[in-house]
Structure 1
């Protein structure tokens, strides 16, 4: 089950940069961006700690679905915000499969 680890490691640089960027660009109007950033950093830490083992990310993905309204992209955000949601949604799908 290294598939989730591979996916997240492949997208780690982009997600680290983009989750920070959306808090700066949209945090005032979309405070959930800060929750998304925090949850992503928890996921990232768990993946790193797990090495090649499957990390337990159930709680983080449940919280992400809740704070993002199941990855619904707000209508007034940039492509970077959308990319974060789409990438995390795909990670959630891979993890839940």
Structure 2
């Protein structure tokens, strides 16, 4: 695709998945901020738009056989939801307790010498507190409603339109995105200090992996699932 400064970041990632890791390194938000133009996203991330454009022209495409994000624009919504739950929700349920354990060890061993770790711990706890009920609301309310709608069943709900829970979910995504951005800044992009032990390294590696997973997770919901569900509901009501 031709990339211009007015190209939407979310559309660019959809067409060229190799841009995800590049945008993450620069702090360019492609998940919650996927609706923004590339120029606007660069300004918000305090990045030189001309350099970003030049770098994008040199990025290597994904290796052959790597699944494309575009596959999820063609799959059924039920298949996409199943993928989100088994790939991203289940990952968080397994990984958050492990990271919590590592966080406790690192705080006890290194907290006295690294004052920033207290805030790192607070942010992590806030993320966990936000994410666990968020996953439950999606799996018990939003996802079943979308699946029923796709199957042709009107179903019953207390929210009237799928727009209402989607709006709430995306507001919660914004809050998670802000916490992740603060965490990356506070840890200097997950740079382990010179006196950091293997547990410290495992913690920061785990937090960075969680960040990447959450970015893709939120992208699939905000930029693929939600727009498709809204379009489906509009088509049913037309």
Is the structural similarity TM-score above 0.5?
yes
1:38-57 equivalence runs, <5 A? 38-52=122-136, 53=138, 55-56=172-173, 57=176
Q: Equivalent residue for 1:59? A: 178
Residue 8 of structure 1 deviates from its aligned partner by 2.1
Q: Equivalent residue for 1:91? A: 210
1:10-89 equivalence runs, <5 A? 10-52=94-136, 53=138, 55-56=172-173, 57-89=176-208
Could you tell me whether the CA contact under 8 Å between 1:32 and 1:67 is conserved in 2?
yes
CA deviation string 1:52-92 (max 9, x = no partner): 43652101100101100011111111111111111110111
Query: Which has more radius of gyration?
Result: 2
Could you tell me whether the CA contact under 8 Å between 1:61 and 1:92 is conserved in 2?
yes
Write the distance in 2 (CA, Å) between the matches of 1:8 and 1:83. Answer: 16
Higher RCO, 1 vs 2 (CA within 8 Å, ≥6 residues apart): 1
Q: List alignment gaps of at least 5 residues for structure 1.
A: none
Return 52-61 or 41-50, whichever deviates more: 52-61
